[in-house]
Amino acid sequence: MREYGSSVAHVPEHCDANQLAEFILKEASQPEARRAAREVYSTAFTPALFCKQLIQIVDGEIPEVLDASLLEVLPKKSNDSSLGHSTNHTPPSWSQFERIAQEIEATRNPYFRSHLARYRDTLVALEAWMPARRRTALEMGTTWVFAVLLKKWLGFSEVDVTDWQPNGASAGTRDLTVLGSSLRTFSLDLESELLPVESDRYDLVLCCEVLEHLDVDPMFMLAEINRTLAPGGRLLLTTPNVTSARNACKILNGYAPHFFMQYHKDRSPYRHNIEYAPDQVAGILNAAGLHVERIWTADTFEAPVPEMIEQMKGLGYPVAMRGDNMFVVATKTGPVVDRYPPIIYA
């Protein structure tokens, strides 16, 4: 339903009959609220195109890429009071982000399309917390889009990426050119293999949606981030928030809370192994010699659940940091403090 953007309202997943009735009445009382978004949608998507996309899905094909203009009417996410700036605006370099994504055909990837709201908020954070020196950067678990953006538009002279290939076909180091931007690519196990670069190399490290995939020794990766960050260098990390309001709602309704915990018959590593709480992420970053400058949450994966927040307030539970995704900005201040912090290691 994401392609409909803000032209439709999203009903909370586990609402009861009374909540659904209240939701319908609320929408009916403000008929103009979504009119502008519906007009945008109707000019970009005709009934004929809808039928064509439906046939493509039935035939097992990937539907045509969404019109880029609709990216501007994605449903806006709730703000978090701990965020020092609004997540409800489009970052200045978003048009360049869109352009890169389309040119390398990233928008044909269903995963990429479903994470557009997260990419937008990540870019907002990146632009707000850009390090003073923009010499070198590393994107761990690359999207390619951010790496090219850092090189072509955000002023970094050298950008490296990690792109692990589980079959080992591309193990080691290789140089790639993406849209005229030269990127050095490392294929390695982030929990056991050292980055083949000198210490204090990077002014910026992006580590977005990687931490939750590690299953053996996440501090190995964080220690390597510390080693390769220059003194005062900055880390921007994102990961799902296991203590989100939506997860609390799922638990109370008798459902498993995690985003993605299924096993794969082919032993694919592309699953979440551990999802973290904000205090755990802050704890392991501090243990890794990284000072947390700001940590906040926002709903970037699913629609907010304000009714759950209200229930939590009524029962006296804390409601801060309840968005479904965590954003953390940290700065290297010294060496690793504790290689095996007890907050996550037994």
Note the pLDDT of residue 174. Answer: 80
Any residues with CB less than 8 A from the CB of 251 and at least 6 apart, and which? 257
Give, in degrees to the nearest 5, the angle at Cα 342 between 337 and 344. Answer: 105
Average pLDDT on 145-160 reads 96
Percent of the chain with pLDDT over 90: 62
Give, in degrees to the nearest 5, the angle at Cα 167 between 163 and 169. Answer: 70
Structure token digits, residue 295:
């940590």
State the residue for tokens 């969404």.
66
**What confidence tier does 90 reach under pLDDT thresholds 50, 70, 90?**
confident
Note the pLDDT of residue 131. Answer: 94
What is the three-state SS of the chain? CHHHHHHCCCCCCCCCHHHHHHHHHHHHCCCCCCHHHHHHHHHHCCHHHHHHHHHHHHCCCCCCCCCHHHHHHCCCCCCCCCCCCCCCCCCCCHHHHHHHHHHCCHHHCHHHHHCHHHHHHHHHHHHHCCCCCCCEEEEECCCCHHHHHHHHCCCCCEEEEECCCCCCCCCEEEEEEECCEEEEEEECCCCCCCCCCCCCCEEEEEEECCHHHCCCCHHHHHHHHHHHEEEEEEEEEEEEECCCHHHHHHHHCCCCCCCCCCCCCCCCCCCCCCCECHHHHHHHHHHCCEEEEEEEEECCCCCCCHHHHHHHHHHCCCCCCCCCEEEEEEEECCCCCCCCCCCCCC
Note the CATH number of domain 76-332. Answer: 3.40.50.150
pLDDT in tens, 197-217: 999 999 999 999 999 999 899
pLDDT in tens, 218-235: 999 999 999 999 999 999
Note the pLDDT of residue 20. Answer: 81
C-beta of residue 74 within 8 angstroms of C-beta of residue 120:
yes
- The pTM for the full model equals 0.74
Q: Is the pLDDT of residue 5 over 70?
A: no
In angstroms, the CA 196 to CA 172 distance is 9
**What's the distance, CA 278 to chain centroid?**
15
Question: Which helix (DSSP H) or strand (DSSP E) does residue 246 occupy?
Answer: helix 245-252
pLDDT in tens, 21-38: 777 877 776 655 555 555
Three-state DSSP state, 334? coil
Eight-state DSSP code of residue 64: P
Note the pLDDT of residue 332. Answer: 97
Three-state DSSP state, 70? helix
C-beta of residue 326 within 8 angstroms of C-beta of residue 278:
yes
Supply the mean pLDDT for the chain: 84
pLDDT in tens, 58-88: 766 655 544 433 333 333 333 343 333 335 5
Least confident range of 20-29, 46-55, 179-188:
46-55
The percent of the chain in helix, strand and coil, each rounded to the nearest 5, is 35, 20, 45
| Residue 63: count of CB within 10 angstroms of its CB | 17
Chain region(s) in the chain for CATH 3.40.50.150: 76-332
pLDDT in tens, 246-262: 999 999 999 988 877 77
Note the pLDDT of residue 300. Answer: 94
Note the pLDDT of residue 15. Answer: 74
